[in-house]
Amino acid sequence: MKKILIALTLLSILMCGASNAADKPKVTIYTSMYEDIIEAMTAVLHEKFPDYDVEFFYGGTGTLQAKIAAEKDTKKLGCDMLMVADPSYSLELKDAGLLHPYISKEAENISLEYDKEGYWYPVRTLNMILAYNPENFNKEDLPKSFKDFAYDPDMKGVISMSNPLTSGTALVAISALKDKYGYEYFDKLAENKVMVESGSVALTKLETGECKVIMILEESVLKKREEEDSELSVIYPTDGVICVPSPIMTIKDEWSAHGNSKICEELTDWFLSEEGQKYIVKGWMHSVRKNPPAVPYDSISTDTIVKNSMPVSWENCLKERSELRTNFEERVKK
């Protein structure tokens, strides 16, 4: 009988906890951030906002765009907020009338461009760079620019990059490179037999020596350097790092999963705050604040990167998205 009473008491506690969780207002965030960063953010948000149930859904930007496109047909999205990589997507969603405007109290502290009506803000700066393994190859013998990455015949069969059909940052990269060098750049990638694969696979090939140099996000290299004491190193391209100020957006209540836009406003303020940006930097991404709390582990100053970055037209990235993906698939992945 005593065991039964104990079991019933435990069951009652569990049911009460489940009931309390069910009673909390919920916010679902679609994001392309690393899954381990999502886990850390989830723990912090549960601590900072104990009265809300905040959950993340992970997917590559291209995957999330396809998911939202399908959900739009039902007149209801599965998320309340978005933190994706491709800034041009915020322009599309704003034009479609899906976003909730909010003038954040942190707006004046942001160093990068944001929507003056409050439809989107940059929340993290991602940087497309080149990387190599100094244990296998000398930096002097490798490309120092994105142009040489594709045009140097000595790199044939030993270079790798992410797939712009699924990766938002890769799409931004090929948009910027097309604007600078034309579609000939795609043909040169094909001639050099670039491998198109996930960042984790590319990093492994860099470690083994199968690849000499890869096009990848800076955060992927910095993460390995800090967590695994890796020797993999960044090359900041001489023709400009491709900076991707990834946006945070709130979905209109009538379109969102749970209709809690006021809570989303609180979360937006926190993500853009000095405290919130510290967690962005801990995730090896650069802060968007005018006076950043720090720079990611083993990186250089954010101002230096942005100052020497390659121009990106977000309007071109949006209007040419399908064309860019088609050309990449036909010219590079053929």
With 70 as the cut, is the pLDDT of residue 260 above it? yes
Q: Is 208 exposed, middle or buried (0-12, 13-18, 19+ CB in 10 A)?
A: exposed
Q: How confident is the model at residue 9 (pLDDT cuts 50, 70, 90)?
A: very low
Kindly give the interhelix angle for 274-282 and 261-272, rounded to the nearest 10 degrees.
70
Q: How confident is the model at residue 15 (pLDDT cuts 50, 70, 90)?
A: low
Q: What is the distance between the alpha carbons of residues 149 and 174, in angstroms, rounded to a whole number? A: 13
With 50 as the cut, is the pLDDT of residue 259 above it? yes
At 8 the pLDDT is 47
Tens of pLDDT, residue by residue over 159-218, are 999 999 989 999 999 999 999 999 999 999 999 999 999 999 999 999 999 999 999 999
Tens of pLDDT, residue by residue over 23-79, are 899 999 999 998 888 998 999 999 999 999 999 999 988 899 999 999 999 999 999
At 36 the pLDDT is 84
Q: How confident is the model at residue 13 (pLDDT cuts 50, 70, 90)?
A: very low
At 301 the pLDDT is 95
Phi, psi values for residue 245, rounded to 5°: -80, 90
For the segment 77-97, the average pLDDT, to the nearest whole number, is 95
**Whole-prediction pTM value?**
0.90
With 90 as the cut, is the pLDDT of residue 16 above it? no
Kindly give the interhelix angle for 35-48 and 261-272, rounded to the nearest 10 degrees.
110
HSE-CB at 143 with a 13 A cutoff on CA atoms is: 26
At 37 the pLDDT is 87
Whole-number average pLDDT of the chain: 93
Tens of pLDDT, residue by residue over 115-164, are 999 999 999 999 999 999 999 999 999 999 999 999 999 999 999 999 99
Is the distance from CB of 179 to CB of 313 less than 8 angstroms? yes
> Shortest CA distance to 81 belongs to which of 52, 111, 110, 112?
52
Phi, psi values for residue 103, rounded to 5°: -85, 105
